[in-house]
Chains A and B, each alone.
Chain A
């Protein structure tokens, strides 16, 4: 009988110990969050989420399923936050409000990207110059040949061949297309009235290829092809790309500095951070640049998640920015990062 009692006591003690250990473990259990959206910033986001896991005890799972998917996901509440390369329309903001009990959606710029015109012109080794209106006319099908006078005028000293221009564009909906068509819409009234800006549009001319790699395939195989790709993609794959004339009439080659400069040039005191920085004013700016945003609901049901999100955002716009350039993204200028940091307090 006594031995029985002892055994019970021992078991009870062991169980208590196990329970205690489990309780401690549960305490340390990281907060789980999920996000989805833009593919363009996915490499930096994945690195951030990975590095921040040990700092903030939060495990963030990110699915790069496209900006549209991110907007849909956060609106319908299937993910905790979204990510988008494209600016949200008023309708999309309203849709979020109506589906989420009147709560709003906040947008936080995280890094910057750019879109560059890349080409395959046999015999031309010099970097070509482009202006916004010339690019728009090429993509409208009005400039058809590489030796067109409009192109020759901005490329003095370059012998351009008598070759048809084959326009290559993305066929999949993409933030890259949004940025590029947003720029064309700003510099060409005809483009704005016609094809307009969107992640996928109705292209007047050219061939559609899937993804940056598809466009690159076309560029490599078709002499005379002109397309647009993400800056990072062009750099990593050693694609030739041209300079683009900015609003200050300088021909600028896209690089991390000139892209960040585009964001810094945005001085206006917009209460919102959802601003297009294509065709930005100022010297040294690359005109086809864009922010990419995290879309965060202003109210979380779970206080832990709200705190984790705030912590992460604060880290991302300060220390996290040091990790940006090694991955070829342009970082937020200090002024913008400060502005974003102030807006983090809006999350409840």
Chain B
């Protein structure tokens, strides 16, 4: 409070002075404006959490934390549980990342380090176009093209080679956790490529020149010098992709099978938190039902924070070990 009035005072004093003095006062003005912007965004986040919390009290009072452990989802019996949805969200996002991260990082290495700049710019432009495709388009392509293709060409060999693994057990109907993971990987890969490439390009030329001068090959330079230098930024791009994968709604609901069951097999249908909210909110009747869907949103919020935190801690520890 005192600080604000002090700033206001100084501002007042400054404005009473001439034009040039006021320009110099731009420091304070810009500080206040940018601060206000940051605070307003934080405020929006807090308001969202508060609203979710406030409107999900009925569920919290009825089920408590057992809501997170329960697998029941029966609007007619007014019994709700989040576990199958949490499981589906995590599995599809994880699967998407397993495919997207190596693909995206490798592609960004090619675009930043190996491709001629002109070609790199054109390819990057095309890849970034992928990020602008609405998710419902991905969902439709998923249902009508990708799922039949997976069913015809990917699953039979997978089953014949790895069929003994529990993750490839059971009948494959097309709509499944696997399909959702693959669609997600296509959706998030442009984020990884686009950001990682920028980060790699920002690595100072001196770093490369020094490595080359010491006799490293081009690939050794890239792998041992450039990549570690850019690792923080690359991980940043992966977090961005992960956040998108966790919250993706439309494309996932169209290919995941929308069945709230927990099954070890990736070939079986599942459900995700965002998908169930989108599917059922409009027609939800009954206070506890609506409250449970809102609580799910809160769970997704928490899940995103927890997964991001785990990923960050993991990276911090590996980086320390590396150095």
Contact = CB atoms under 8 A, between A and B. Distances in A.
Interface of A: 65-69, 71, 86, 89, 91-92, 164, 166, 171-175, 195-203, 206-210, 214, 217-218, 221-222
Contact of A171 (B72, B77, B253): B253
A202 B74 contact: yes
B76 A202 contact: yes
7 contacts: A66-B283, A171-B258, A174-B283, A197-B76, A200-B279, A201-B74, A207-B258
Contact of B173 (A166, A175, A202): A166
A68 B282 contact: yes
Given A201-B75, A201-B76, A221-B148, A208 B257 contact: yes
Contacts of B282: 65-66, 68-69, 172-173
Interface residue SS majority, chain A:
loop
Interface string B131-168: 00000000000011001100100000000000000000
B202 interface: no
Contacts of A89: 285
Contacts of A71: 285
A163 to B, nearest CB: 12
Given A196-B76, A202-B75, 18 more contacts: A68-B284, A86-B285, A172-B278, A172-B280, A173-B281, A199-B283, A199-B284, A200-B280, A200-B283, A202-B73, A202-B76, A203-B259, A207-B175, A207-B259, A208-B269, A210-B253, A218-B174, A221-B174
Contacts of B73: 202
Interface in B269-313: 269, 271, 275, 278-286
Given A67-B283, A68-B282, A217 B253 contact: no
Most A-side CB within 10 Å, residue of B144, B173, B254: B173
A185 B279 CA distance: 23
Contacts of B143: 214, 217, 221
A209 B254 CA distance: 7
B285 A92 contact: yes
B259 to A, nearest CB: 6
Nearest to B285: A68
A208 B75 contact: no
